[in-house]
Chain A
Amino acid sequence: MIKEEYINNIIPHDSAYKHVDGSAEYTDDIIEPEQTLFGAIGWSKKAHAIIKKIDLKDVRLSEGVVSVFTYLDIPGKNDVGPVFDGDPIFAKKKVEFYGQPLFAVAATSIELARKAVLKAKINYKELRPIVTIKDSLEKKQTHFKVRKIKKGNALKKILKSENYLKGNFTTGSQEHFYLEGQSAFAIPKEDNNLLVYSSTQHPSEAQQLIAKMLKQKSNSITVLVRRIGGGFGGKETNFMTAAICSLLAFKTKRPVKLRLDRDDDIILTGKRHEFYSEYEVGFDNQGLINGLKLKLASNCGMSPDLSYAINERALLHIDNAYHLSDIEIENHLCKTNISTSTAFRGFGGNQGMMSIENIIDNISRHLNKDPSEIRKVNFYKNNTKNITHYGMKIEDNVIGDIFEKLIKSSDYKKRYAEVKKFNKKNKYKKKGIAITPVKFGISFTTLHLNQAGALVHIYTDGSIYLNHGGIEMGQGTHTKIAQLVSHSLGLSFEKVKISSTNTSKVPNTSASAASSTTDLNGAAALNAVNKIKNNLETFIKSKYKIFYNKEPIYKDEQIIFGNRTFNFFKIIKEAYLNRVSLSSTGFYKTPKIKFNKENFLGRPFLYFCYGASVSEVTIDTLTGENIVDRVDILHDAGKPINPALEIGQIEGGFIQGQGWLTIEEVKWKANGQITTFSPSTYKIPAVSDMPKKFNVEIYKDGKNKEKVVNKAKTTGEPPLMLAMSVFYAIKDAIASVENYKKIPSINAPATPEKILMSIKNLTKN
């Protein structure tokens, strides 16, 4: 008997018990066969240099070393760039970032392998490295041509406006700091085939790149992923670990495990793009933006990787929830000598949104008005002012309603006044409050990625085997898709077996990214289920002579055709004996979307996610230390499949965003060497950073207008941007030091140091 509905319901993550007792298996936990070797990567100690000589004699002679390989040992293509080339597996003559792989060893233990790589002797001829956006812009070192977008006549509108502001703003980089570092385990099979376990968000691309590296066909490589210990975009590309591991296994003909330790992981792999913007804005006395000119530059690192798409998403989110009638943007993709910047939750959208939020905040301070009012004035409206700067009509706008509801539920107005009162009485402790909106577009902006596949079997005992292209990285996609499948078949959740993502079961998958994993793969899984249901229903109708035009109901282990009811398990057995197919693939492609990258027009997104948050903070004006006193969130998750998991995404995303905007600071020396590469030097939020009061709610009127599984809305990336209110609350507190008469200047992340220096600058002038 089924007592619970398994959809729209709270059930624990499918692996929750395995997480808490340690039986959940990650790549490095797989027990090795006896002959297994362990890999380590030797990498460049210079950010920009010609390799004059590379002497690996001592490496080869080091205890336990079986083999050492360089680019000369790669049979096929020496590049793991995802869309564009530019990421050599091993550098040939030139190194372009501190940490670039030069060679790798396979040894009898991981300790011996790691000791061995330190024994390389490399002579470099140093070249001048470019590290910062500023330097890159000056030297005109970019990856692509400058991209320009124009809608209306921004300059004219700015000149005609009653008010004018200009300025610049930076948001910093961010290290993914997934708790499980990059790791892979490659096992050679007959016919030069390889079975590769990899901690990746994108097994299909790993498969293709490994095949190309080995000059083999994709059908000779199988990539398997049961789960990964966090991804956040950091495992969407970054294929070097899987590739090098596979090369070592291929060459030595032995199983090889390769796991980067934390330092190497941070040094070798890419991070979030730092963004720099310069703006000129014209606005009226109500704060309505008339025209905006913006220069947007990002630090893309040494190779293109996904930077084109990330910058594109920044451009597509420069509006956040605001109608911008006349804008002109130019976008520079800076090439620098740091590890290649890559995907990270938000994928440029958050950086674009921070730019406009900074402008809106400055407008309110210039007009001396409550920023929440200026935000409302500029919101997209429902019937007018609903076309984005890229020509998409917004049909599902709920930001106004969410904003109003949150202002009420968080008591924003009253607290806004109380904060001001508090600040009048206190000199060394200052409070700040801010409310910020989020509108985030859902779909890959690259059309062909918006497809997914699934494979569903029903065995003769009625148990279900589910496989799809999505990666479980903590978000609970396997749980949610199993819920969809079990609900569709009228079975309990436990009847569905969740299995490893496997390139030999579902081919040509897209990365688990762009917040779309459950939307895409869930729909594909349901498509597979529907095909099997079709087979079953045809069989039942013909065998039992049922003339029933409506869709039968699958519920409580029964299939109900009006007044005729069939036990699911009995009918499955019967169907098998009558030679009915009980297995099917499924497929899904996102409808409606179309985007012209040349003229920057179209509908890149199927739908938008909305949310808003209010943050209240206290800062110490003597030290810059700060504390988040209270956060209220109202977030649109559509009709959530599993509210507990969505809440988890909202809270976790928020804290990750808070980290990005407050304490997480990636630093490089002028010579390109990264100095924040371990938890002792790079601080992600810990338990005390959690807001003291944390009220999180899912928008009760949420419902996806588009045909999306369960009418849900994804909660993958959008909640990260809810944390913008923390940053603007800090800025609000700083502004209070000069009684809100001056506009503070502060860039993200707002570390204690930046806060104190901002206060100092504000009071100095």
Chain B
Amino acid sequence: MNTNKVQFLLNNKICELINPDPNQTLLNFIRTKLKKTGTKEGCAEGGCGACTVVVGELNNDQIVYKSINSCITFVTFLHGKQLLVVEDLINQDGSHHPVQQAMVRFHGSQCGFCTPGFVMSLFSMYKNHNSYNSDLIKDTISGNLCRCTGYRPIVDAAKSLNKVDFKDNFSKNKKKTVKILKKINSKNLSIINKDKKYFSPSTISELKKIIIRNPKSQFLNGGTDLSLIVTKERKDINTIINLKSIKELDFIKTNNNYIEVGSTTSLIKFENFILKYYPDFNSILKRYGSVQVRNVGSIGGNIATASPIGDTSPILLSLNAEIIIQSKVNKKNIPISKFFKGYRKTILKTGEFIYSIKIPIYKKNIFKAYKISKRFDDDISSVCASFNLEIINKKIKKIAIAFGGMAEIPKRATNCEKILKNKNLSLINFENVNKSLEKDFKPIDDMRATKNYRIEVAKNLLTKCFLEIESNKLIRLN
């Protein structure tokens, strides 16, 4: 069954939007239609967190509260969900939520403009966890910028939540909320608003039909990148097909030899899963972007945008991952090294989409990945490096090295690999390949780094990788 009504819970009231503009951002909707101006626009690109709101989603009979950047989310995202904005945290008697009270008590606001965003990020943390340590707090607000406080009072406010031991109103109303969410959460969206269309199929077979009818459509697989066409380039996206509504694409399967991740799997879900296999993969995903971005951004989306600085690609390259591409007629497996064609170009043909990613499990190998950026939190890599080595008796049997930020596409360092293969594990060997890195890569100067620095760091990361293997210790600052 299709519907042209976006149905969602506005706090605890059911709301319906009939054929809304599919290019309207959630932030714009909140501020201009709901006339709730507590949620702010700071950057319109998901980089400052001032627009953070929380959406409640059903997971079995639990509500998961996800913080998201409303500035880079389209309003259609709300379908079947609960929307909570900062004003909704006030209790009916006018008293404030524990998160809000903590922020006041610890002087967590100065100019106050970023504050609603911080409150909502902390609210989602408060709802989804039972205790809050420093790492969790920092991760929670790593995508919220504050220019006044220097963060210390906000972190202290968050820590103080460990001492709050009563149920807030959202816990008290949980049963009721779950019931309504179940009621509204069912139909596929099919929206037509003037010359713009939006579809959210729930199965792959429905998706295929929509693709045939709308060959020029854009896939939405999280949208943290796609939405910038509207918010930054100020262009329209005429037809959007949401992949995120397809349950078949949101999965993680594993056996002894590989992990298969469905295309729409959120980065946050995937990072938690991958931790026990490849810890460095996990730590880089945490730095890939803020919680708000990782909550909606997907692994398939990150690969399909083919950005030279997307952090998952170099890692998947060094792990010899395969992309499973679904077309109208069949599925095919492509090694990820053949997937990228050029700057933001892939081999995907019209109508094709990523079904899943298959990542081999190397039980005996050493896997290391590094991300170098100006800022630790939520920054784009100057260089991202990933190493996958099989070492037997101090000899390098197999090696895969990949870099991001060093070329117009994420790329393997094939010359380096060739030289190092079958060599002994020694510093000299690692330093000797430095020159061949310059053959592998001709990086560019841009606002993030110069080409000299990129080359220099890439060489040093080779050294670092060796040093870490040799000493069996990590040489890291964090």
A262 within 8 A of B: yes
B148 touches A687 (CB 8 A): no
Indicate which residue in B104, B373, B453, B461 contacts A17 across the interface (CB closer than 8 Å): B104
A179 touches B114 (CB 8 A): yes
Q: Known contacts A652-B148, A652-B149: does B104 contact A20 (CB below 8 Å)?
A: yes
Tell me which of A23-31, A202-210, A237-245, A604-612 binds B.
A23-31
Residues of B within 8 A of A627 (CB): 376, 477-478
Indicate which residue in B48, B107, B372 contacts A12 across the interface (CB closer than 8 Å): B107
Residues of A within 8 A of B107 (CB): 12-13, 16, 644-645, 647-648
A16 touches B372 (CB 8 A): no
B113 within 8 A of A: yes
Residues of A within 8 A of B373 (CB): 752
Residues of A within 8 A of B475 (CB): 428-429, 620, 622
Most buried by B among A16, A18, A22, A178: A22
Residues of B within 8 A of A752 (CB): 372-374, 382
A228 within 8 A of B: yes
Shortest beta-carbon distance, B145 to chain A, in Å? 6
Shortest beta-carbon distance, B195 to chain A, in Å? 12
B43 touches A679 (CB 8 A): yes
B447 touches A179 (CB 8 A): no
- A210–B47 Cα distance when bound, in Å, is 34
- A263–B233 Cα distance when bound, in Å, is 11
B296 within 8 A of A: no
B155 touches A19 (CB 8 A): no
B42 within 8 A of A: yes
Q: Using an 8 Å CB-CB cutoff, how does the interface string of A528-546 with B read, 1 for contact, 0 for none? A: 0000000000000000000
Most buried by B among A620, A654, A656, A679: A679
Instruction: With CB as the reference atom, state the residue of chain A lying closest to B116.
Output: A22
Q: Using an 8 Å CB-CB cutoff, how does the interface string of B120-139 with A read, 1 for contact, 0 for none? A: 00000000000000000110
B96 touches A753 (CB 8 A): no
Residues of B within 8 A of A713 (CB): none
Q: Using an 8 Å CB-CB cutoff, how does the interface string of B98-121 with A read, 1 for contact, 0 for none? A: 011101110111111111100100
A257-290 contacts to B (CB < 8 Å): 261-263
Q: How many residues of B contact A (CB 8 A)?
A: 86
Residues of B within 8 A of A687 (CB): 137-138, 141-142, 144, 151, 154-155, 377
Q: How many A-B residue pairs have CB under 8 A?
A: 250
Shortest beta-carbon distance, A547 to chain B, in Å? 47
A261 touches B44 (CB 8 A): yes
A94 within 8 A of B: no
B232 within 8 A of A: yes
Instruction: With CB as the reference atom, state the residue of chain A lying closest to B109.
Output: A19
Instruction: With CB as the reference atom, state the residue of chain A lying closest to B140.
Output: A687
Residues of A within 8 A of B370 (CB): 623
- A569–B147 Cα distance when bound, in Å, is 42
B380 within 8 A of A: yes
Shortest beta-carbon distance, B439 to chain A, in Å? 21
B145 touches A678 (CB 8 A): no
A556 within 8 A of B: no
B452 within 8 A of A: yes
A96 within 8 A of B: no
A1-58 contacts to B (CB < 8 Å): 12-13, 15-26, 28-29, 31
- A596–B238 Cα distance when bound, in Å, is 65
Shortest beta-carbon distance, A482 to chain B, in Å? 16
Indicate which residue in A15, A18, A473, A686 contacts B377 across the interface (CB closer than 8 Å): A686
- A506–B124 Cα distance when bound, in Å, is 44
- A752–B460 Cα distance when bound, in Å, is 13
B39 within 8 A of A: yes
Indicate which residue in B37, B45, B89, B99 contacts A680 across the interface (CB closer than 8 Å): B45
Instruction: With CB as the reference atom, state the residue of chain B lying closest to A657.
Output: B150
Tell me which of A110-118, A365-373, A386-394 binds B.
A110-118
Instruction: With CB as the reference atom, state the residue of chain B lying closest to A21.
Output: B90
B336 within 8 A of A: no
Residues of B within 8 A of A620 (CB): 475-477
B87 touches A22 (CB 8 A): yes
Instruction: With CB as the reference atom, state the residue of chain A lying closest to B85.
Output: A22
B430-458 contacts to A (CB < 8 Å): 446-450, 452-453, 456-457
Residues of A within 8 A of B142 (CB): 686-688
Q: How many residues of A contact B (CB 8 A)?
A: 84
Most buried by B among A177, A228, A696, A752: A752
A449 within 8 A of B: no
Residues of B within 8 A of A751 (CB): 374
Residues of A within 8 A of B101 (CB): 20
Indicate which residue in B100, B110, B152, B452 contacts A13 across the interface (CB closer than 8 Å): B110
A667 within 8 A of B: yes
B463 within 8 A of A: yes
- A358–B330 Cα distance when bound, in Å, is 66
Residues of A within 8 A of B463 (CB): 622
A565 within 8 A of B: no
Indicate which residue in B38, B145, B232 contacts A686 across the interface (CB closer than 8 Å): B145
B345 within 8 A of A: no
Q: Known contacts A620-B477, A654-B150, A680-B380: does B111 contact A227 (CB below 8 Å)?
A: yes
A651 touches B152 (CB 8 A): yes
B113 touches A26 (CB 8 A): yes
Q: Known contacts A227-B111, A648-B153: does B145 contact A688 (CB below 8 Å)?
A: no
- A228–B149 Cα distance when bound, in Å, is 15
Instruction: With CB as the reference atom, state the residue of chain A lying closest to B43.
Output: A262
Residues of B within 8 A of A429 (CB): 475, 477
30 CB < 8 A contacts A-B = A15-B109, A16-B104, A17-B100, A17-B104, A19-B103, A19-B112, A20-B119, A115-B234, A179-B147, A181-B42, A227-B112, A228-B111, A232-B147, A428-B464, A474-B111, A474-B148, A620-B476, A623-B457, A648-B149, A651-B152, A651-B153, A656-B147, A676-B447, A678-B47, A679-B43, A680-B45, A683-B379, A685-B375, A687-B151, A687-B377
Q: Which 6 A-B pairs give the minimum distances between C-beta atoms?
A: A22-B38, A229-B113, A474-B111, A679-B47, A19-B112, A655-B150
Using a CB–CB cutoff of 8 Å, the interface residues on chain A facing chain B are 12-13, 15-26, 28-29, 31, 111, 114-115, 118, 176-181, 227-230, 232, 261-263, 428-429, 473-476, 618, 620, 622-627, 644-645, 647-648, 651-656, 663, 665, 667, 675-676, 678-681, 683-690, 694, 696, 751-753, 756-757, 760
Other contacts beyond A679-B45, A688-B138: 6, CB < 8 A: A13-B110, A20-B119, A21-B86, A652-B148, A653-B150, A685-B151
